[in-house]
Structure 1
Amino acid sequence: MKRCEVAIVGAGLAGLCAARALKSMGIDFLLLEARDRLGGRILTSDEHGMPTDDGFDLGPSWFWPMMQPDMADLVSELGLQSFSQNNNGDVIFERMSREGPQRYRPVEQQGKSLRLTGGSAALVRALERDIPADRIRLNTHVSAMALTGEGVEITLKTPDGMAAVVHASKVICALPPRLLEANVTFTPPQEQYTLARWRDTPTWMAPHAKFFAIYNRPFWRDDGLSGTAQSMVGPMVEMHDATLANGKAALFGFIGIGADQRAALGDEALKKACLAQFARIFGAGASEPRSTLLKDWAADPLTATSRDPLATGHLSAEDANSLSGLWGQRLFMAGSETSAIEAGFLAGAVAAAKRAVLAVVSPG
């Protein structure tokens, strides 16, 4: 049986931030991650879909320093570089299929969105450097937690398929509540109100899919277009310039049709429809990319549950960390969805991790 003061379940941004903070305080911890990589929904890939140190963000890609000071402080503290999302040029709006795309001069935005040089995975790489490798367990699936007289007994499946147990005084759950409710059995059981709240908290990105088309150059800029478009025609509902800081050109879009429809259509037909839409909006050159990428988060079992394809609307700002009963002094929520501010966003993960660590180290 492994023992530690604090077990952290989930090695996305929140889990990594929590681990780094505990390390700085000299508190022993284990970071347990079901995936074979760190980062969770932060996933930066090259044009062939392979993880890379400088690529395209298939998950979250933006932050807003004026509105998200915790995130801005973390980026500064880690010494990371950022650049502005390209918004120079006109935007396109597709209102209906029987009329062509309409072009508009955008209103100047307050609080410009930024992207990290190298992609959002730059956060993961920088945080990993501060976490001892022997405190990280990848390919480790947590299946159960049970209270004991001294803490929490955590049952998990290791990379070799064997069952193992970790005993921790306290646990930080740095993953979406809905995943926790769907995959982990608790003894004694969580209260029904808590389980219902977890089930009803939508997981950010879980119902969504992103499509990228990579080009030799950002040709749309030559036509005075920003790369930003909105559509009521589809299949994509929102599009943006995804060109990297190194100049590698790309467009990306959020796909608006539902997860079941995407699955029925198939990846190749969906990619073809997306390219046709890019060509319709940005010109014939958009139909001939050098490569394409499609990431459907609803098809990722470590992100989405059976409830997520039906999810609608935005996350509430409810603080979902507080647990009552016997679990209240042992289990602390740190997934971005549980943050009282910027829930679901990168900034929400940073804030939730700070709150959870503070609760863990506070007396009583």
Structure 2
Amino acid sequence: MARDRDSDVLVIGAGIAGLTAALCLQEGGARVVVLEGGAEIGGRVQAVRGDDGAVLGDLGPTWVWPRWQPAVARWMGRLALAPFAQHDAGDGILDGFGGPPRRQHLIGQDGISRLVGGPSAIVDALAAKLRPETIQTGATVVRVEAGNGALRVTTAAGQSLGARQVILATPLRGTLEKVEIMGLPVALESAMRAAPTWMAQQAKAVAIYPRAFWRETGLSGRMASRSGPLAELHDHTPASAEVGALFGFVGIGATERAADPEGVRGAILDQLVRCFGPEAGAPSELVIKDWAQEPLICSTLDLATPPEHPGIGPETLRAGHLGGRLWFAVSESADQSPGLIDGAFSAGEMTAQRVLTTL
């Protein structure tokens, strides 16, 4: 087993929460290493990119509400991120509400914003502020154990790293299933099992077009459907308007999606034509991200239970364990906006502040 250099804090997971925690720790003077199990950083933040690398669509979270989300507002300022309003002008489409799809004015989505560059801009900005050697990708953690006044982390490749403190910034249910941690309190394990992983069972479809043609006929791009396969749809055109885009959530269960992915794709295109006309059936790109197929995100417990948005969990999720050396910082552990980008910022920031007091 290869032993690597020790650090003050090991952060497991390079999503928004983990990167936020790492940056706060670095700014507090701590030596930090971030281990990411995937090939790329970002966690649930992934994007459709153009040939030039520009973000054309978000495959994970999209929206923020800066007026009501203090952590988002604060970090947007710190990272110089630019918001723009979710496009909502025009009529929506009702599909499957008796008869053919019809135009209908839909209640506005007051306060919903997007970010120029999408949430990928958050990930990129956070990572750019960390020291170059901080993040290791492809490092899947399989064990955390205590000993000699510190914690030791082992990866699937046999790498062993020691740290005074460890922050697990990965989905709670998946962590419990995939990482061997001896000595966790029963109440903590129960709270982790009770925290559904937001987006774990979802699939998101993003259709890219040369232009936002629906706007030309007074449509907002919004659609609500009882027929499916997309249960809802929204305009997803980037701030640059260099392309047009629509995104929707697939209202088909994970098992059915996995059994016939091409059938799902074809049904989505048929629905787009039904609701928006022939031009909608010929996107330059249609990307379907099925998060249920991502083992680092979706746990077997997530697949076995009905999907639901996480609520604010008990304080044990935000406390230190294994002698005050092991912490959790992920959107689902947050004490505000759990499951959302705001929750990820809040969890990372709060946990880093608590860890810094122990160093």
Q: Could you tell me the TM-score, scaled by structure 2's length? A: 0.94
Whichever residue aligns with residue 129 of structure 2, its letter is D
Q: Distance in 2 between matches of 1:325 and 1:58?
A: 33
Whichever residue aligns with residue 43 of structure 1, its letter is Q
Shift in Å, 1:192: 2.8
Shift in Å, 1:308: 1.9
Q: Secondary structure at the match of 1:214?
A: strand
1:3 to 6, 9, 12: 6
List alignment gaps of at least 5 residues for structure 2: none
* Contact 1:321 1:332 (8 Å CA) reproduced: no
Shift in Å, 1:328: 5.1
1:87 aligns with 2:88: yes
Matches within 5 A, 1:241-260: 241-247=235-241, 248-260=243-255
Whichever residue aligns with residue 33 of structure 2, its letter is L
Matches within 5 A, 1:252-331: 252-266=247-261, 268-309=262-303, 310-319=305-314, 321-322=316-317, 327=322, 329-331=324-326
1:73 match:
74
Judged with a 3 Å threshold, the aligned counterparts in structure 2 of structure 1 residues 145 and 53 are, in CA distance, closer, same or farther, namely same
Judged with a 3 Å threshold, the aligned counterparts in structure 2 of structure 1 residues 303 and 251 are, in CA distance, closer, same or farther, namely same
1:100 match:
100
* Contact 2:25 2:356 (8 Å CA) reproduced: no
Judged with a 3 Å threshold, the aligned counterparts in structure 2 of structure 1 residues 317 and 87 are, in CA distance, closer, same or farther, namely same
Write the deviation string for residues 129-163 of structure 1: whole angstroms up to 9, x where unpaired.
11012121110011111111311111113xxx4x1
Q: Secondary structure at the match of 2:114?
A: strand
Q: Secondary structure at the match of 1:301?
A: coil
Judged with a 3 Å threshold, the aligned counterparts in structure 2 of structure 1 residues 325 and 19 are, in CA distance, closer, same or farther, namely closer
Judged with a 3 Å threshold, the aligned counterparts in structure 2 of structure 1 residues 335 and 66 are, in CA distance, closer, same or farther, namely same
Q: Secondary structure at the match of 1:327?
A: coil
2:25 match:
22
Write the deviation string for residues 244-289 of structure 1: whole angstroms up to 9, x where unpaired.
11211011110011000101122x2111100111111112221111
Q: Secondary structure at the match of 1:348?
A: helix
Write the deviation string for residues 297-332 of structure 1: whole angstroms up to 9, x where unpaired.
000111111222333222111245547796250111
2:64 match:
63
* Contact 2:32 2:134 (8 Å CA) reproduced: yes
* Contact 1:153 1:166 (8 Å CA) reproduced: yes
1:128 aligns with 2:127: yes
Q: Distance in 2 between matches of 1:298 and 1:311?
A: 13
* Contact 1:319 1:339 (8 Å CA) reproduced: no
1:212 match:
206
1:180 match:
175
1:222 to 216, 225, 228: 216
1:362 aligns with 2:357: yes
- In the alignment of these two chains, the number of paired residues is 354
Write the deviation string for residues 178-230 of structure 1: whole angstroms up to 9, x where unpaired.
1110111112x312332222122111111000112211111111121100111
2:147 match:
148
Q: Secondary structure at the match of 1:230?
A: strand
* Contact 2:144 2:179 (8 Å CA) reproduced: yes
Whichever residue aligns with residue 280 of structure 1, its letter is R
1:347 match:
342
Q: Distance in 2 between matches of 1:59 and 1:259?
A: 16
1:139 match:
138
Q: Distance in 2 between matches of 1:329 and 1:52?
A: 42
Please provide the CA RMSD for this pair.
Answer: 1.9
Shift in Å, 1:53: 3.8
- Percent identity between the aligned chains? 35
1:31 match:
34
Q: Distance in 2 between matches of 1:171 and 1:51?
A: 37
Q: Could you tell me the TM-score, scaled by structure 1's length? A: 0.92
Write the deviation string for residues 77-131 of structure 1: whole angstroms up to 9, x where unpaired.
11122211110101122244x51123222334432x1111122111111111110
1:110 match:
110
Write the deviation string for residues 32-85 of structure 1: whole angstroms up to 9, x where unpaired.
1101111111111226xx893422100011101011121111111111222111
* Contact 2:24 2:353 (8 Å CA) reproduced: no
Q: Distance in 2 between matches of 1:90 and 1:324?
A: 47
Q: Distance in 1 between matches of 2:176 and 2:49?
A: 33
List alignment gaps of at least 5 residues for structure 1: none
Whichever residue aligns with residue 122 of structure 1, its letter is A
Q: Secondary structure at the match of 1:115?
A: strand
